[in-house]
């Protein structure tokens, strides 16, 4: 492609509303332009890359037996009401104003609809159906360029199986395909166990890259490779020892002491002896949650235990219940003073399991109770892992210190189970002629996130550094002396030769741009090799080759340059 008549509007300055490298560089390299919040036009260079990525994904999806669909973005609202997700997605779901239609943010509903009409027997299963298509989500905070858009491309696939073992197999096939896709794209990624959240279902894993720009938080162990989303991460943090003897309960006067830190310094005791109370509500049921000291409650873990609709209580609700403020609530005698029919559910973080001689609120402002033995003094409804892992805590697998990192999610695989089949009436007859719901899995990859993540991982202050797999062009051919006939004809000749050899070449043949500017553009656009055709070298039958990644330069004989580039691409 000739730069002289291409539309690649590069920018010298960093756009003021782009804060992360991939966003800045995609704008500067003329790959994308914003049209509205979270909505981008892909310009020719950016779209070339989209197509490259799609090709890699398609290749690996076909290799696991995936069959490609193209499903409509316009979906009947009714279908989304059948699964209850019109409500679950809330404002994230785009609604069409003049018809009962929505813009699909994902396609479980349509897949289930097709399956319900056409999959009749176990003989029709298993199936892997996929598509690479535009999704719409009214993200409340679109940002980071194409990483979180309101319109974006997703490869979404769905497995349909007759058995749970079949689902395991389909899930494994996807996990392997995803590893191949991200490896081929040259990404340094890691895989984490994740919470399945609003999707419902059991197992789920996310494919992540570490990045300061990431909105996800993950825990990683560099020693053994343990990795998990912070929402579900665990650690081997030490538990307080149970004292040999539980002392007698005692009420202590703690005027104006509200927080754990205040209590710790007021009593001058180890934080491990303090049981912090948090009050949540599920419907009308109040829930007391006990955490050790300053341990933070992980709301995702809490939701996994109590359901997604659990929420923090508001002060007015507390007042009516216990007569004490939040800072003075505790598990002992909590339910004694409640009206008939109301009862706190008491759940405790596993770290406090078996603990005794603890201090907690007395359900009376300005008082605490000490020497609490959870086994003796409290009717605990359950012990669960509820705490947020902190950096430096021991890895649950190997005991080495954990790191906490920001990350960007590239892809997500879920075992959905039968939830969608049941709500969409997608049943098949098993070998015994019995009706069974189809067992589904759902798997997604963000196409734009692959390109943005590659740039996040591979750039310098001059611009993008494409790897060979994703590079929109292999070679950036630069004509330096556009007024010298011999140099021009040499560059033109090379341009032709590269094309004949099926090497993707971007040719900077512009005659109104200075060499310095051409070099800057070449570094910004980031093709792996630059072939520089200038008078001095042409006179001695050579061209200069610069590798973008290392900056290494080399003189290569004109007659050997095509072969040199071919070898470089293949290596």
Residue ranges that bind ligand ATP, judged by CB under 6 A: 106, 137, 139, 148-149, 152, 154, 409-412, 444-446, 448-449
Coil, helix or strand at residue 253: strand
Give 157 or 246: the residue with its C-beta nearer to ligand ATP: 157
What is the total residue count of the chain? 571
Q: What's the half-sphere exposure (Cβ side, CA atoms, 13 Å) at 451?
A: 30
Give 153 or 389: the residue with its C-beta nearer to ligand ATP: 153
Shortest distance, position 490 Cβ to ligand ATP, whole Å: 44
Give 293 or 444: the residue with its C-beta nearer to ligand ATP: 444
Give 134 or 357: the residue with its C-beta nearer to ligand ATP: 134
Shortest distance, position 457 Cβ to ligand ATP, whole Å: 15
Shortest distance, position 401 Cβ to ligand ATP, whole Å: 27
Shortest distance, position 92 Cβ to ligand ATP, whole Å: 9
Give 154 or 464: the residue with its C-beta nearer to ligand ATP: 154
Q: What is the DSSP code (8-state) at residue 239?
A: P
Other Cβ atoms less than 10 A from the Cβ of 69: the count is 17
Query: What is the spatial distance between Cα 89 and Cα 83, in angstroms, rounded to a whole number?
Result: 11
Query: What is the spatial distance between Cα 412 and Cα 541, in angstroms, rounded to a whole number?
Result: 53
- What totals of helices (H) and strands (E) does the chain contain, helices first? 16, 31
> Of 325, 317, 362, 448, whose CA–CA distance to 52 is shortest?
448
Shortest distance, position 84 Cβ to ligand ATP, whole Å: 17
Q: What is the DSSP code (8-state) at residue 4?
A: G
Shortest distance, position 409 Cβ to ligand ATP, whole Å: 4
Give 26 or 369: the residue with its C-beta nearer to ligand ATP: 26
Give 377 or 409: the residue with its C-beta nearer to ligand ATP: 409
* Contact by Cβ (8 Å): 544, 553: yes
Query: What is the spatial distance between Cα 165 and Cα 168, in angstroms, rounded to a whole number?
Result: 5
Give residue for tokens 């940002």: 143
> Of 102, 109, 306, whose CA–CA distance to 199 is shortest?
109
DSSP letters spanning 342-382: ---EEEEEGGGTT--SEEEE-SSTTEEEEEE-HHHH----E
Shortest distance, position 248 Cβ to ligand ATP, whole Å: 50
Give 144 or 360: the residue with its C-beta nearer to ligand ATP: 144
Question: Phi/psi of residue 77, each to 5°?
Answer: -55, -35
Joined tokens for residue 449: 């996130």
Query: What is the spatial distance between Cα 530 and Cα 153, in angstroms, rounded to a whole number?
Result: 31
Shortest distance, position 417 Cβ to ligand ATP, whole Å: 16
* Contact by Cβ (8 Å): 203, 412: no
Q: Which residues, in sequence order, are bridge partners of residue 161?
A: 439
* Contact by Cβ (8 Å): 356, 373: yes
Q: Which residues, in sequence order, are bridge partners of residue 439?
A: 161
CA dihedral 220→226→230→236, nearest 10 degrees, is -100
Give 361 or 411: the residue with its C-beta nearer to ligand ATP: 411
Q: Which residue is nearest to ligand ATP (CB)?
A: 446
Shortest distance, position 25 Cβ to ligand ATP, whole Å: 17
Shortest distance, position 157 Cβ to ligand ATP, whole Å: 11
Shortest distance, position 214 Cβ to ligand ATP, whole Å: 9
CB contact burial 312-338 (16+ within 10 A = b; e otherwise): ebeeeebeebbebebbbbbbbebbeee
**192-to-49, 186, 206, 407 alpha-carbon distances in Å:** 27, 19, 5, 11
Shortest distance, position 53 Cβ to ligand ATP, whole Å: 12
Give 69 or 517: the residue with its C-beta nearer to ligand ATP: 69
Coil, helix or strand at residue 274: strand
Give 85 or 137: the residue with its C-beta nearer to ligand ATP: 137
Coil, helix or strand at residue 309: coil
Shortest distance, position 289 Cβ to ligand ATP, whole Å: 25
Give 152 or 466: the residue with its C-beta nearer to ligand ATP: 152
Give 364 or 449: the residue with its C-beta nearer to ligand ATP: 449
Shortest distance, position 274 Cβ to ligand ATP, whole Å: 34
Question: Phi/psi of residue 144, each to 5°?
Answer: 55, 35
Give 374 or 410: the residue with its C-beta nearer to ligand ATP: 410
């Amino acid at each position: 492609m000739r730069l002289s008549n291409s539309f690649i509007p590069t920018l010298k300055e960093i756009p003021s509303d782009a804060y992360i490298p991939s966003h800045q560089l995609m704008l500067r390299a003329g790959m994308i332009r914003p049209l509205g919040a979270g909505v981008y036009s892909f310009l020719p260079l950016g779209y070339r890359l989209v197509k490259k990525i799609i090709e890699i994904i398609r290749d690996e999806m076909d290799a696991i037996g995936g069959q490609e669909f193209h499903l409509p973005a316009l979906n009947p609202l009714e279908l989304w009401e059948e699964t209850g997700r019109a409500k679950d997605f809330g404002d994230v779901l785009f609604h069409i104003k003049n018809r009962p239609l929505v813009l699909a943010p994902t396609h479980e509903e349509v897949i289930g609809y097709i399956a319900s009409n056409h999959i009749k027997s176990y003989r029709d299963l298993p199936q892997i159906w996929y598509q690479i298509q535009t999704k719409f989500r009214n993200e409340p905070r679109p940002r980071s360029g194409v990483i979180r858009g309101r319109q974006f491309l997703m490869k979404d696939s769905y497995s349909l199986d007759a058995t749970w073992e079949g689902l395991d197999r389909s899930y494994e096939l996807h996990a392997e395909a995803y590893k191949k896709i991200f490896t081929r794209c040259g990404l340094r990624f890691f895989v984490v166990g994740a919470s399945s959240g609003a999707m419902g279902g059991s197992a789920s894993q996310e494919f992540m890259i570490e990045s300061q720009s990431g909105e996800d938080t993950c825990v990683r162990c560099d020693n053994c490779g343990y990795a998990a989303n912070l929402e579900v991460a665990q650690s081997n943090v030490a538990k307080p020892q149970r004292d040999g003897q539980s002392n007698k309960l005692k009420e202590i006067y703690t005027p104006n002491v509200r927080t754990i830190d205040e209590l710790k310094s007021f009593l001058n005791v180890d934080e491990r002896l303090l049981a912090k109370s948090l009050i949540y509500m599920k419907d009308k049921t109040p829930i007391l949650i006990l955490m050790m000291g300053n341990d933070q409650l992980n709301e995702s873990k809490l939701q996994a235990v109590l359901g997604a609709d659990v929420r923090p209580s508001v002060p007015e609700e507390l007042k009516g219940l216990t007569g004490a403020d939040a800072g003075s609530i505790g598990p002992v005698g909590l339910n004694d003073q409640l009206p008939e029919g109301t009862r706190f559910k008491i759940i405790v973080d596993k770290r406090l399991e078996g603990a005794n001689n603890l201090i907690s609120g007395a359900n009376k402002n300005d008082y605490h109770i000490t020497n609490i033995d959870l086994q003796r003094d409290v009717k605990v409804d359950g012990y669960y892992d509820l705490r947020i892992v902190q950096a430096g805590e021991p890895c649950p697998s190997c005991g080495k210190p954990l790191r906490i990192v920001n990350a960007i999610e590239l892809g997500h695989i879920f075992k959905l189970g039968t939830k969608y089949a049941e709500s969409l009436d997608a049943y098949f007859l098993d070998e015994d002629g019995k009706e069974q719901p189809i067992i589904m899995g759902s798997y997604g990859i963000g196409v734009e996130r692959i390109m943005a993540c590659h740039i996040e991982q591979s750039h310098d202050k001059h611009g993008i550094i494409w790897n060979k797999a994703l590079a929109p062009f292999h070679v950036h051919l630069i004509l330096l002396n556009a007024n010298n006939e011999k140099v021009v004809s040499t560059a033109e000749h090379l341009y032709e030769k590269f094309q004949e050899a099926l090497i993707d070449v971007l040719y900077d043949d512009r005659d109104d741009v200075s060499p310095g500017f051409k070099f800057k553009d070449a570094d910004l656009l980031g093709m792996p090799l630059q072939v520089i055709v200038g008078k001095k070298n042409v006179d001695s039958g050579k061209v200069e080759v610069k590798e973008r990644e290392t900056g290494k330069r080399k003189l290569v004989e004109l007659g050997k340059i095509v072969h040199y580039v071919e070898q470089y691409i293949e290596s």
